């Protein structure tokens, strides 16, 4: 029965043997709250590597559904135009309204997931996504199709905003980079594969078959989704506290998780989700990154119009074969992902050797991507401008263009995370809204722009903008520390003092602001000193700041956990006093 419960991921199910759990002597932190002790196997970061990769793959599969559905109708818009007697520009709204859902969704899915947990938000949002795709597949009017697309886009934004949170829940700082690389690869692979499949379907069937494929993919994913356990640390502790209270262990009848004793309300989370992203957006680092990624994201969705112009209109290929060069962008995304894996491996060795990490360590990847981006944009546009040039030349340009986009995307998201620390969720939310709005607008003006400027001229315009943006990571690499020091939203990590000096208010979690050269020194983990390679990894600047002040992030808020200075020891579920 325990095995069945684990497979079905019920609230009391665990990805480990129940017999290894010792509820008789739970770990209590200095504030009297239930907490994860060092090496606690109920801590999601201490789950088995196989289990965590399984959760990662399912989370990424949810993202693939969202990104595939975002672009797949672009390969069959001709059929939509004919059936509803509309223009090409109006038909492009099928893509745009879906991406508009990306803008609004994260603003309420993020706080809901922090309040109710990751798992149930996935269950509700993805089930609604599947349901409203039936409306798209069987729409009898263009208005019904647009309504269905907007709602499915809003629901699909849940995996996009919550999957990174799941990865942060279960992975340490270095391995999280590898998981995020996989997440980012699928973010680009999904949109690229969508038009290829829908283009061939339109040749043999009609545009509705594109939505049938979306339904089939979503149906399979729905079944796998129900095997995901809860990963949000605060929610896992709440479930653990409820289980211990039910056992009525003497001395622990009223034990509570930190979040159960907090006065946090759902309305407070919504206020933060709706206000703080816009406050963060005007911060110099957040604003510059939002502009850069908005251009990159707009180009990504412009490609679904550019490729048909180059390979179908100019070369006369059909709607199926004409979309095949988009597979090159998938190859490019995987090349970028491999590069991220290599960088993560290098970073791990540097950290193990005692290197002190700072947020700007993320930027060399963005520097490389920023240089490659304009070069490959000019290559792709001008080689695609002439039919005399072999088709493989612009296709190869698209491969490395996609690589540069992925490098920029991953590096900047990691930089935002390490820069804004406990405000990272708000910073990423603001960035998501901006780039999704840019992506939604792109299909509406791309055809007009290419008609007016031509492929070469339009590509040169985009490449020129990329040249102007390329110095940004170099400037942040040199001056980022000083900029962060002056920002009220980018707290600088502090060294854990050994002489009792004040590092901030432990009750509020407000850290002292040191000079830029005072970087992360404390490598003590509050969750594990075990043999787990993940848990024993040196901490990132972001996590060190939390540990120094005794806080862990809960998305839009943060909750109190045990300090490294706690006078309690914990080993395999045994509680003992340190002498």
Q: Domain limits of the chain?
A: 41-248, 273-490
CATH superfamily for 41-248 is: MFS general substrate transporter like domains (1.20.1250.20)
pLDDT value of position 31: 67
For residues 444-452, give the mean pLDDT: 85
What CA–CA distance (Å, rounded) separates 372 from 435? 20
What CA–CA distance (Å, rounded) separates 350 from 27? 33
Please, which pLDDT band fits residue 503 given cuts at 50, 70 and 90?
A: very low
Q: Do the domains at 41-248 and 273-490 have one common CATH topology?
A: yes
Least confident window among 43-52, 82-91, 292-301, 491-500: 491-500
What CA–CA distance (Å, rounded) separates 559 from 370? 37
Question: Is 1.20.1250.20 the CATH classification of the domain at 273-490?
Answer: yes
For residues 400-415, give the mean pLDDT: 90
pLDDT over threshold 60, residue 33: yes
For residues 500-520, give the mean pLDDT: 38
Residue range 99-124, pLDDT digits in tens: 999 888 888 887 888 788 888 999 99
Higher pLDDT, 249 or 195: 195
What CA–CA distance (Å, rounded) separates 251 from 556? 33
pLDDT over threshold 60, residue 509: no
pLDDT over threshold 90, residue 54: yes
pLDDT value of position 183: 83
Please, which pLDDT band fits residue 238 given cuts at 50, 70 and 90?
A: confident
pLDDT value of position 491: 66
Characterize 102-132 residue by residue with b for buried, 16 or more Cβ atoms within 10 angstroms of its Cβ, and e for exposed. bbebbbbbbbbbbbebbbebbeebbebbbeb
What CA–CA distance (Å, rounded) separates 71 from 81? 16
Please, which pLDDT band fits residue 135 given cuts at 50, 70 and 90?
A: very high
Query: For residue 563, what are the β-bridge partners?
Result: none
pLDDT value of position 521: 35
For residues 343-353, give the mean pLDDT: 80
pLDDT over threshold 80, residue 138: yes
pLDDT value of position 519: 37
* Residue 565: half-sphere exposure toward Cβ, Cα within 13 Å: 10
Q: Whose CA is closest to 526, among 3, 1, 46, 15?
A: 46
């Amino acid at each position: 029965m325990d095995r069945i419960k684990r497979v079905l991921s019920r609230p009391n199910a665990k990805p480990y043997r129940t017999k290894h759990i010792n509820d008789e002597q739970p770990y209590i932190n200095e504030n009297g709250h239930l907490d994860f002790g060092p090496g606690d196997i109920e801590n999601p970061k201490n789950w088995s590597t196989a289990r965590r990769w399984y959760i990662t793959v399912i989370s990424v599969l949810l993202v693939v559904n969202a990104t595939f559905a975002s672009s797949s109708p672009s390969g069959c818009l001709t059929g939509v135009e004919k059936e509803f007697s509309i223009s090409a520009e109006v038909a492009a709204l099928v893509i745009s309204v879906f991406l508009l859902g990306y803008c609004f969704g994260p603003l309420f899915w993020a706080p809901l997931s922090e309040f109710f947990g990751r798992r149930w938000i996935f269950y509700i949002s993805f089930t609604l996504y599947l349901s409203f795709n039936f409306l798209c597949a069987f729409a009898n009017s263009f208005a019904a199709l647009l309504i269905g697309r907007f709602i499915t886009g809003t629901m699909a934004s849940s995996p996009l905003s919550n999957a990174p949170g799941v990865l942060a829940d279960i992975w340490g700082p270095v391995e999280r980079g590898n998981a995020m690389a996989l997440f980012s690869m699928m973010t680009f692979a999904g949109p690229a594969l969508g038009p290829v499949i829908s283009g061939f379907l339109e040749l043999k069937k009609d545009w509705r078959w594109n939505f049938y494929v979306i339904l089939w993919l979503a149906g399979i994913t729905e079944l796998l989704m129900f095997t995901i356990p809860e990963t949000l640390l605060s929610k896992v502790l709440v479930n653990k506290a409820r289980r211990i209270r039910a056992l009525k262990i003497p001395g622990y009848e009223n034990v509570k998780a930190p979040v159960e004793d907090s006065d946090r309300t759902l309305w407070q989370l919504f206020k933060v989700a709706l206000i703080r992203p816009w406050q963060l957006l005007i911060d110099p680092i957040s604003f510059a990154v939002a502009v850069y990624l908005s251009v990159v994201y707009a180009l990504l969705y412009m490609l679904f119009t550019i490729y048909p112009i180059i390979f179908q209109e100019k070369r006369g290929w059909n709607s199926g074969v004409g979309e095949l060069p988009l597979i090159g962008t998938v190859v490019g995304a995987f090349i970028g992902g491999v590069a991220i894996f290599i960088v993560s491996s290098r970073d791990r060795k540097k950290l193990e050797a005692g290197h002190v990490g700072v947020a700007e360590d993320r930027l060399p990847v963005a520097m490389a991507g920023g240089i490659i981006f304009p070069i490959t944009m000019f290559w792709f546009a001008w080689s695609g401008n002439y039919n005399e040039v072999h088709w493989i030349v612009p296709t190869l340009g698209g491969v490395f263009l996609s690589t540069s986009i992925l490098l920029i995307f991953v590096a900047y998201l990691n930089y935002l995370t390490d820069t804004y620390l406990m405000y990272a969720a708000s910073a990423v939310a603001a960035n998501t809204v901006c780039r999704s709005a840019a992506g939604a607008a792109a299909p509406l003006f791309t055809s007009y722009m290419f008609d007016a400027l031509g492929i070469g001229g339009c590509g040169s315009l985009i490449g020129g903008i990329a040249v102007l943006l390329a110095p940004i990571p170099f400037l942040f690499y040199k001056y980022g520390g000083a900029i962060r020091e002056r920002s009220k939203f980018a707290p600088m990590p502090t060294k854990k003092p050994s002489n009792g000096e004040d590092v901030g208010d432990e009750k509020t979690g407000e850290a002292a602001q040191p000079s830029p050269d005072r970087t992360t020194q404390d490598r003590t983990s509050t969750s594990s000193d075990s043999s787990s390679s993940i848990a024993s990894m040196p901490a990132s600047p972001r996590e060190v700041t939390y540990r120094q002040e005794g806080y862990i992030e809960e998305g839009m808020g943060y909750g109190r956990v045990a300090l490294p200075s706690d006078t309690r020891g914990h080993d395999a579920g045994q509680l003992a006093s340190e002498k």
